[in-house]
Structures are given as C-alpha cells and as structure tokens.
Structure 1
C-alpha cells in the first residue's frame, strides 16, 4: 500500500529541527499563524477564515488555539499537547486574548519568540492585536524565512506523497486526453476526467485516504484553448474544441496536502508546420532546463540557460515567465527558477519545470513537470508522455 500520510515522527522531526535552528539565536518559542505553517508543524489542516488559529511550540510542549467550531476537528487530527478554544470572532473577548493566556501560562511574557507574522493576517475582515502588543516585554522575531527554508527540503516521506500524487494526476490527464473531441466543451471534458480519476482514487486507496488539499484528482485546461492558449494564466471560458486547437492542460491530485504539477500541450488533429516547430522548441528548452538542474548551482542558472535558449533561437518576443517554482503543499512556492533567485539548489528540493512559448494569434506551448533534486540531477516525479506524437488528438 502506498504511503498516504506523514508519520507522527515526521512532524516531531520538524519541530525538533526548527527549535534547534532557532535555539542557536536564543529563540525559545515559536508561534505560527499561516495555515500551511500550522499544518506543517501540528498536522492540523483547516479552512482559514476570519477566526484566527495559531500553533505555539516550545522545547517542552505545544499548544493549538482554535475557534469553538474547529474544536472537535482539532481534537481528532491535531498532533499537540494542548488545545485551547475560544467562542467566536470578534465576540465579547477577542481571540488573541486567549493566545495571550497561553503564552503567559508558558512563561513567555519576556521571552524571545519566533513568529511567521506578528499576528493573524487581515483575512475575511479580521482585525486584531499583534503578538508584540500582547506581550510588550517579549522580543518578537520574524522567522518566516527559517520555516520556508525547511519546507523547501522534502523528506523521503514527503517525496512518496508527491509520487503518489503524480500517479493520479497521470490518470486524470489520461482521461482528459481520451475525452477530448471536436465540439465538446472544456467544462464537460474537465469535469468528467476529474470525476472519474477521483472516483478511482477513492476506490483504490480506500478509507485511509485523505486529500487535505483543494480537491481530489483533477485535470483541465483553465481556458488555454486555441488562441487563448497563448495566455499563460487564461481563465475558463467553456470553449468548444475545434480542429487545429492547441490545448494547454493541467492535472494534479492531492495526497495529505501534497500535490504535483503536470501540464502538457496537446493539438487537435494533425499539427501545422508552425505548431510543430514551436512545440519542438518548447520540448527542447524544457529538456534543457531539466538537464541543467543539479545540487550546488543557484536557481538563477537554470532560468539563465532557458533565457539564453530563447535569445539564440529568436524567441524572446514569445517569453512570458520564469522557468519554474518549488512545489509541495502550495500552488507556487519558493525558491524560483528565475534569474533573480540566487538560492542554492539542494537535494530534496522539488521544482516545476515549465518554460513556455506564447505566440499571439497562434497559441501557447508549455509542458510542466515536477522534478525532485537528487545527488546526481533530478528524479522525474511526473511522467506523462512529452513527445508530440503522443499528444496529437485524432479528429
């Protein structure tokens, strides 16, 4: 049976790592508010609203602050020593006063505390005091970069979840390609492919499976059909497929919050010479980017190699975005395969590799593959066929 969740030991390792890292700067406690960060350390995944949720971690204990409506949910899933609930927001007593109670009880009133932000963000109308205002004698230090760096390096358990995601993204995309036909709308094709792949996941993985993400398995076009495929972030228009259309696709699946990114360029019917030329150039530059990635070089080097390719082949006018980004539990994550990002590539980092060529009035050409950095280069997490012959849809 594939791994479908992270072990408790993984969460405890993360806690020990952040405390050791911050302890070198005499930071004795951590408070995180970001949903991804709370989940990263506490195992508690939730829907963020105007009601603040916070996770507190010290060397001796941990505590989770939740609104009353999340109490039973937290009791079932959170890995923490203590759960404190408050009635509602804004209510007669502000939720952050309950957080202050926790911090005072843990004798942190004058401590050096690491936070991912100095208070809960202004989400859905929320307003409230900062941690530094709750504890004016404490020293509040932003440690978001430290947490983000930890999240850049994926453990073997995390990589297993990404590999499992890729298996179901692959199935969803296979359904998507199978159901493409002239006259069908992008909505009906996407919904059918996503539904059937999700049903297969549920049947195969059984009751232990939990997505902890934005959905189950999915595949679609997000509006990148025909000439609109030249818009990297087009919006769905429910277009009907026509002969000659270029289709830029996207597929993923959520496993315990982790998801890969799989994108392909497909063509309805025999490609024109112009379509074939740009497709092959796109495939060549994506291959170049994948082969360039290795530990020890800066992220910028990968994007520079791609941009040099664009210059050498007269494609600069068709360039729109950097080569890729990190990928694990969010849609886009740091570091970025961009000439402006000097972060050193390390073993365990996971990237999308997606240089695109966008030709107005013709269409866009982009594959995206998720790759994990290994000591010798990369492991291809996604594996759907990349060649043109495999991606031409008979009409």
Structure 2
C-alpha cells in the first residue's frame, strides 16, 4: 500500500524562502509579504485573513519573521515555521500596526533598504484601513515583486505534485458519489452535502488523524453543482439555488479536495436522462475543444498559444456566441493561480506547472458544457492528474 503524502517539510519551506530572491528581477534586501497564501507558502502558517494585518518578513539570509496580532501569536508559534514571531496588541489600537511593522523593520536595519512586497501595505480586508508601507517607511525603496513570486509558486516541487495527485484522487471519489446520488426529484443541496460528507469521512479515515486540509477555499473532499443545473448551467459562475433535479437537465459539476494546503480541479458535464440532439452536439464540441487544448500543451509553448489554438476552433465552427472565458489557469494552493491559458498571457509553460484545462460552451436556454481537468506540464508534454471519465455514456445519469 502506498503511503499517504504528508505536509510540505520544514526544509522545503525554508529553501523556498532563500530561493525567493533568485526569482527576482532586481536585487532586494528583504521581502515583506501580506498575502496569506504567500505567507503559508514560505512559512507554513495557515490562517484566515481578517482586518488585523499579518505580515511575513524574509531577509536575504532566509530568516523568516512573522508579524501577527496578539490573538494569533500562539497559533503562529505552534503552526508556523518562522524563526521568530513578533506581535502587536490589536487593530487599530493606540499605534497603528503598520507603524509597528516599520518599527520592527527599523530594528532589523531595513529602514533604508530595498524591500520587495506583494502589496504596498496590507490590502483592504474586512474593513482594514491603513497607510501604505512606502508611506510609513519613507527611507526604504519599496517595489512590488508578486509576479516573480507567483512564478516561483507556479513551479511545483515533486512533493507538491504528489499532494495535488492525492487531492485529485479524493476529488474523483467525491464526484462519483455526487453522480451516484443525483436523481430526478432529489435536491441539489442534499445531494452535495451527502456526497461531500461521505467522501470527506473516507478521506480522513484513509489519510489518518494527522491529516489537515489547510486550504481556505476548500475543506475536506468536495463535490458540488454550485447552481449549474438545467438552464442555469449556462452561467459559468452560477450560485446554488437548492434546485430539484429534473429529467433532461444539463448538469455542470465541480469537485476537489484539500490536502495539506493543496487542491485540484475536476469538473464534468452530465445529463439526467438521454441527452437531446442539441445537448449531444454541444457536448461533442466541448470535448473537441478540450482535446485541442491538451494537444497544444507542452514545455516551451506559451499560454497564449494554447488559447489561440482553442479559439481557432470556436472561429472555425461558428461558436463565438457560446464563448465566455479562457482555457484555464494554474492552481495549487490557490484555486486560481498564474499563469493563465489566455491569449493575453505570453509566459512560457515550464515543467512542474499544474493547470486546469476547461474551455466551455454556454447556450442560454439549454445549458453549459464544460469539463475541467488538472494537468501537469512535464519535460516531454503534459500529464493528466485527473482521470475521471469524459465520455457521454459515462456521464449520462438514469432518469
């Protein structure tokens, strides 16, 4: 029996922090990061962002200092891997937390330094308001470096890929339960809850008591419709309505699982009862679009070239009225990461990148048609990390 993958090691996170400076276009004396996903990526501290600022300082020698509100101090000490945790009393407090952060940077000798940031100050979360870092620390040269850090995050390590594989495995299990429980007359919310609860219980039993999801977009093993049922499946980002399934419905699903901070994406188009001629026609076009994208993926190709290849099929088949979005996006910790399989993204694909591939067609009054699979760019091409059936027969539910 293959051992279940564990969390990212302390050594790998520490190495990431030191390597971050190698990805920068211009030399920086330190990094100050406010985005919770960057903070987790480099320090292992998973938390829910609120109006209280949290920051991670990374020095050139790789020292990591977490700056947190007092209520998070023990949490950061127990769950994070930073070499030091500094805290402030509360937001907004007698002295604003961003000013206390600049005091800390001064103690570290970074007041007149070159500092790379993801945001120039803490972003406006839950009513937060405060000065920009460049305003509070006028002696420093503050420069945004988030694009470079996004590139580092996009190149998944072997351990990260294994966690995403494990997510894909449990996402498929949740999806199979969703498919099994979907029948005419059943309720969307109840079916989603049943499939998700059972899949999560099975995953926890298999991965053991030490398992943690550590992902704020997903908890456990999840399978959902998100309101994409019947005519509402033509809305790419519909919201749950608690619909009752009916004969002839077009259904668009979503499934995945949180595994030590990492996730995958699996989506399928299904039908309740035999698909009509029009449903079959658009389903066939959708499969062809995804196949074209698969064929276009590989190291050295640009993200734009993949989207261009897919767009050519829309043009050739007269399908532009049913186009709504680009081919896909990177993913891993975040449900959406960069780069994007979009005509406007000229970045090259590189081995280690993990992306969704999900070109869709949306027909008002009939439904939406979208499969999404998670793929890995390899040295020789691409590898499917999700392997759920894609064909019409497998996705036609008994009515």
Q: Determine if the TM-score, normalized by the shorter chain, exceeds 0.5.
A: yes
> Residue 275 of structure 2 corresponds to which residue in structure 1?
271
Deviation of 1:350 (Å): 1.0
CA distance in 1, matches of 2:316, 2:275: 24
> Residue 249 of structure 1 corresponds to which residue in structure 2?
253
Identify the match of residue 165 of structure 1 among 167, 175, 189. 167
> Residue 221 of structure 1 corresponds to which residue in structure 2?
225
Deviation of 1:4 (Å): 2.6
Contact 1:293–1:302 (CA under 8 A) maintained in structure 2: yes
Identify the match of residue 381 of structure 1 among 385, 390, 394. 385
1:251 partner SS: strand
CA distance in 1, matches of 2:374, 2:8: 20
Contact 2:23–2:149 (CA under 8 A) maintained in structure 1: no
1:207 partner SS: coil
Unaligned runs of 5+ in 1: none
CA distance in 2, matches of 1:134, 1:157: 39
> Residue 107 of structure 2 corresponds to which residue in structure 1?
105
Contact 2:23–2:152 (CA under 8 A) maintained in structure 1: no
CA 1:46 to 1:181, structure 2 compared with 1: closer, same or farther past 3 Å? same
CA distance in 1, matches of 2:195, 2:164: 20
The farther-off stretch of 133-142 and 73-82 is: 133-142
Contact 1:109–1:138 (CA under 8 A) maintained in structure 2: yes
> Residue 190 of structure 1 corresponds to which residue in structure 2?
192
CA distance in 2, matches of 1:339, 1:130: 33
CA distance in 2, matches of 1:62, 1:140: 18
Does structure 1 residue 300 correspond to structure 2 residue 309? no
Deviation of 1:128 (Å): 1.5
1:267 partner SS: strand
Unaligned runs of 5+ in 2: none
Deviation of 1:387 (Å): 0.6
Deviation of 1:133 (Å): 2.4
Count of matched residue positions in the alignment of Structure 1 and Structure 2: 394
CA distance in 2, matches of 1:319, 1:59: 46
Does structure 1 residue 309 correspond to structure 2 residue 313? yes
Identify the match of residue 238 of structure 1 among 237, 242, 247. 242
Give runs of ≥4 in structure 1 deviating > 3 Å. Answer: none
> Residue 353 of structure 2 corresponds to which residue in structure 1?
349
Contact 1:282–1:365 (CA under 8 A) maintained in structure 2: yes
CA distance in 2, matches of 1:345, 1:18: 20
CA distance in 1, matches of 2:121, 2:362: 41
Deviation of 1:19 (Å): 2.4
CA distance in 2, matches of 1:247, 1:310: 22
